[in-house]
Structure 1
Amino acid sequence: MGHGKDTGETPAPARPEDERLPFGQLLAYGTQHVLTMYGGLIAPPLIVGGAAGLKPADIALLVTAGIFVSGLATLLQALGLGPFGARLPIVQGISFAAVSTMVAIASHDGVRSVFGAIMVAGVIGVVVSSFFAHLVRLFPPVVTGSIISVIGISLLPVAFDWALGGRGTSGYGDPGNIALAGVTLLVILVISRLFQGFVSRLSILIGIVAGTLVAVPWGKADFSGIGEGKVVSLPPVFAFGTPVFHAGAIVAMTIVVLVIMTETMADIVAIGEIVGTPVDHRRVAGGLRADMLSSTVAPVVGAFPASAFAQNVGLVAITGIKSRFAVAAGGGVLVVLGLVPLFGRVVAAIPAPVLGGAGLVLFGSVAASGIRTLSRVEYGDNLNIVIVAVSLGMGMVPIARPEFWDGFPDGVAVILDSGISAAAITAVLLNLFFNQWSAYKKDKPSVFAAAPERATPASGTPDRPAVEPPPSPGIAGAS
């Protein structure tokens, strides 16, 4: 029998996230992911280690362990192993959501109690992952768009702090720091405008490198300490002693784990929207299992919970690199950085203002992706606009007034102090109340439902086409 002619072209993958790229491109794109997340990755160990009163050498162990575990977790999430992993371009890193709770535990009972609480809470998370994943049906575009927008908005203050020099530093607020962030941002914008293809997609990486090179003669970068310490080192097992299990710490960390799972599910849904691939409850369950398994094992080598990193969602959106193998390459880079502390010290020397200039683009693009999703929502004769308004408002509370929930019980404060989880809970509940609950449903339930009359297919207008474009393939089965 005859065979078709070989054109020499690689067939397009069935799913956009399965695209395979040349090794050099994978490494470059993966490194870009690492540089994007690095500042946020090392911050939680520094904060918690300081709260626990650890010595600088011990804090360095926390940082190295966090990098190593984040790399392994990213590989598991992107490539998958059996029932573990969403097999999407999702980067894993040490979760910010757990920082305040870990600081509280470490301040009272020490870091060993933090590790014990994480291990127990992580096991609980693995057990409930499958049930938790079925909640994906509660995330139609009006919900996902609101959550994605809040993810981007809630991350922008991090970029602003970086641009000012990094909170707590002696030069915080120096106009020179802001200028350096502006130089980095300008390089990214110029590269994005003047170049196409491979170079354009590396605009973030090029901007970070250029900003760092400018910072050296400016006196804003210090590489003097990169030669100190070991060149190669395996993360030691239980370097801080065996974990300690306290009931109160375990309860508090379990609540945090539920918050982390909510945020991870939102990130999985968000990346599905951006990539344009169906995300059903099975993929969400696999992602949550990987998330929780990584968090459970992390304390063995002295690391904290590793969850999906929202800032890297923005990188996928702005570069258009949807391949999960590019993210896996970034995971490999993180593993190497965790084994070779010298490399980690080089990356850690990147000035915070440089990261701030890049973060403005990255985090803003996440918010823009949410707005794009919300543009697909039908606002006529329903209360969807109220869902969006209240969800965004709730998500902004911790950003505008961080002390807002301080007077509430710890369990409430832990959940609502995260703008992402507050927006997710609000959007899901309001969507159920307004769109799913059939009792007392009316054709025109409120003045908020008022909207311009839509054109019929036969009488489209210049600003509203007769046939609307089909919705992008976000969540499988979402209405």
Structure 2
Amino acid sequence: MSAALPPARPEDARLGFGPNIAYGFQHVLTMYGGIIAPPLVMGQAGGMTPGEIGMLVTCSLFMGGLATLLQTLGLPFFGSKLPLVQGVSFSGIATMLAIQGDGGIQAVMGAVIVSSAIGLVLAPAFAMILRFFPPVVTGTVITSIGLSLMPVAAGWAMGPDPQAPDFGSPANLGLAALTVLIIFLLSRLGTPAMARLSILLSLVIGTVLAIFLGAADFSAVPDGPILALPTPFAFGPPTFDLAAILSMMIVILVTFTETTADLLAVGEVVGTKVDSKRIAAGLRADMVASAVSRVFNSFTQSAFAQNVGLVAITGVKSRFVVATGGVILIVLGVLPVLGRVVAAVPTPVLGGVGIILFGSVAASGIATLAKVDYRDHLNLLVVAGALGIGLLPLVRPDVYSGFPDWFTVIFNSSISSTTLAAVVLNIVFHHFRIAPRAPRAEGRERAEQIPA
């Protein structure tokens, strides 16, 4: 009698074709607004035509899908094999806009390609700092990810255009609230399958209700091409400027920090081991995807934190589900007509979904922090200090307006500033002994301490 095979890791579960499509599409809808926003900003700031902006959007969808496949399915030394959706990183937008203003989109392309190649070399060294991410750090960072995304959900709930008369109207916020209520009802009263699909179903039901209320507009769906294949270097060959490359290196380090936090967060949600080798593979996938993305007219790639919340709220942990979402992104990238259908989902409906998803990420962080021993008041200081520092740019976006650009690139990101503060405080309090410590009570253990 043959020995029983060991149980597969949670992320290796295979759910079949139908569930993969349904849950994968749920992931795409969750992050669609986030993945198209950076190319829209870059295109509009660069004075591009609507057709050129549309090309940036479809290329970003295409590359996001390829990057997601690499991250979830993996190749030797590349890809964490975790359920993480990849897309254009927000962290580099300010820097890329500055480079674009000086040298055009070609300078952005060159800076991204070179800095990503350097990042590929540095990825294993960065992954070695995992020992400085005990639960007191990871819990704080995961909590900050959820909290930092809440303004995005609030903006979606208020409406698509801050200049529109109905922005923040009771009708828009009411539609968002109704979407939240639908999620609650499906999760509480529906079947287990309906509960796992509650996000997708709430998006569909909320959109149908919006159509009847006159709050959804699908008139633009027929406009534009049906099929559009990405053209390499559609905006011309890249140019290489040393100052632009150095600026993008700061962005790469920020991306390393955020992706590491997302890898640890999804590992905590899935209940699987995330070690330094896995983080290094995930960071390498980011860097390769970022370098190739510029060939296909896209930008730096990183993990999407909002989709970690979807994994947490649905309990669907399979990486093959997310890989299916990557295939859907590729299809949307070459069939822009389908992308226009997805883009027509009303933003207040997305806002209602975002409230639950991003709150779920924060809740996962709080669950991790519950494992920390606070009898040592130093742990409380780590959490309080890191969250306080990380929330500053969230509640006051202009707090660092008088600082140099390199500083604001790092610290204007709540995720980056929280992560850096938590790591530094943990090192200072738990890895250095500046003065003798008072004896600890017998039997007390610091649950979060990782041996050197």
TM-score, with structure 1 as normaliser = 0.90
**Which letter does structure 1 place at the counterpart of 2:52?**
D
* Equivalent residues in 2 for 1:66-465, closer than 5 Å: 66-170=60-164, 171-443=166-438
Letter in 1 for 2:331: V
Corresponding residue SS for 2:87:
strand
Q: Deviations over 1:38-67 (max 9, x none)?
A: 011111111111111111110000000000
* CA distance in structure 2 between the aligned counterparts of 1:261 and 1:359, rounded to whole angstroms: 24
CA RMSD after TM alignment: 2.1
Q: Is 199-208 or 239-248 further displaced after alignment? A: 239-248
Matching residue's letter, 1:288: L
CA pair 154-478 structure 1, distance change in 2 beyond 3 A:
farther
| Deviation at residue 169 of structure 1 after TM alignment | 4.7
Aligned length in residues: 451
| 2-structure distance, mates of 1:219, 1:307 | 36
1:210-263: per-residue Cα shift (whole Å, max 9, x none)? 111111122211111111222122111111111122222211111011101100
SS of corresponding position for 1:377: coil
Q: Secondary structure at the match of 1:244?
A: coil
Deviates more, 1:430-439 or 1:166-175: 166-175
Please say if residues 65 and 302 of structure 1, whose CA atoms lie closer than 8 Å, have aligned partners that are also in contact.
yes
Q: CA deviation at 1:313?
A: 0.5
CA distance in structure 2 between the aligned counterparts of 1:168 and 1:50, rounded to whole angstroms: 16
What is the one-letter code of the residue matched to 1:33? H
TM-aligned CA distance change 1:352 to 1:12, over 3 Å: farther
Question: What is the rounded CA distance, in whole Å, between the counterparts of 1:233 and 1:295 in structure 2?
Answer: 21
Equivalent-residue separation in structure 2 for 1:393 and 1:183 (angstroms): 32
AA at the equivalent of 2:316: I
The 8 Å contact of residues 140 and 478 in structure 1, kept in 2 or not, is answered as: no
Distance of 1:29 and 1:14 partners within structure 2: 20
Quick one: distance in 2 between partners of 1:81 and 1:72? 13
d(CA) in 2 for partners of 1:350 and 1:102?
29
Match of 2:15 in 1: 21
| TM-score for the superposition, normalised by structure 2 | 0.96
Q: Looking at secondary structure, tell me which structure has more helix per residue.
A: 2
Cα shift at 1:12: 7.4
Counterparts in 2 of 1:3 and 1:389: CA distance versus 1, 3 Å: closer
Amino acid at match of 2:50: P
SS at the partner of 1:437? coil
| Cα distance, 1:301–1:174 mapped onto 2, change above 3 Å | same
User: CA deviation digits over 1:367-393, x for unaligned, max 9?
Assistant: 010000000001113400000001001
| Distance (Å, rounded) in 2 between the aligned partners of 1:296 and 1:197 | 41
Deviation sequence 1:411-444 (CA, Å, 0-9, x none): 1111000010100000000000001113314127
In the aligned structure 2, how far is the partner of 1:151 from the partner of 1:166?
Answer: 23
Q: Which amino acid aligns with 1:103?
A: L
- Preserved CA contact (<8 Å) 1:381 1:444: no
Q: Alpha-carbon deviation of 1:20?
A: 0.8
Give the match's secondary structure for 2:47. Answer: coil
**CA–CA distance in 1 between the matches of 2:376 and 2:260?**
29
The worse-fitting range, judged by mean Cα deviation, of 282-291 and 408-417 is: 408-417
Determine helix, strand or coil for the equivalent of 1:304: coil
Distance (whole Å) between structure 2 residues aligned to residue 283 and residue 356 of structure 1: 33
Contact 1:139/1:478 (<8 A) preserved:
no
Deviation, 1:32, is 0.3
Alpha-carbon distance between aligned partners in 2 of 1:50 and 1:161, rounded to the nearest angstrom: 20
SS of the counterpart of 1:93?
A: strand
Task: Give the Å deviation of 1:407.
Answer: 0.8
For structure 2, the 5+ residue unaligned runs are none
Which of 29, 33, 41 is equivalent to 1:35? 29
Q: Is the 8 A contact 1:191 1:203 kept in 2?
A: yes
- Kindly provide the amino acid, as one letter, of the partner of residue 18 in structure 1: D
Shift of 1:3: 6.2
The residue matched to 2:355 in structure 1 has which SS?
helix
The 2-side partners of 1:110 and 1:215 are apart by 40
Contact 1:234–1:339 (CA<8 Å) still a contact in 2?
yes
Max radius of gyration: which structure?
1
C-alpha displacement of 1:266: 0.5
Aligned equivalents of 1:25, 1:89: Cα separation in 2 = 15
The whole-number CA distance in structure 2 between the counterparts of 1:176 and 1:247 is 50
Question: Which stretch shows the higher mean deviation, 108-117 or 396-405?
Answer: 108-117
Q: Is the 8 A contact 1:78 1:89 kept in 2?
A: yes
Shift of 1:478: 7.1
Range with bigger deviation, 335-344 or 224-233:
224-233
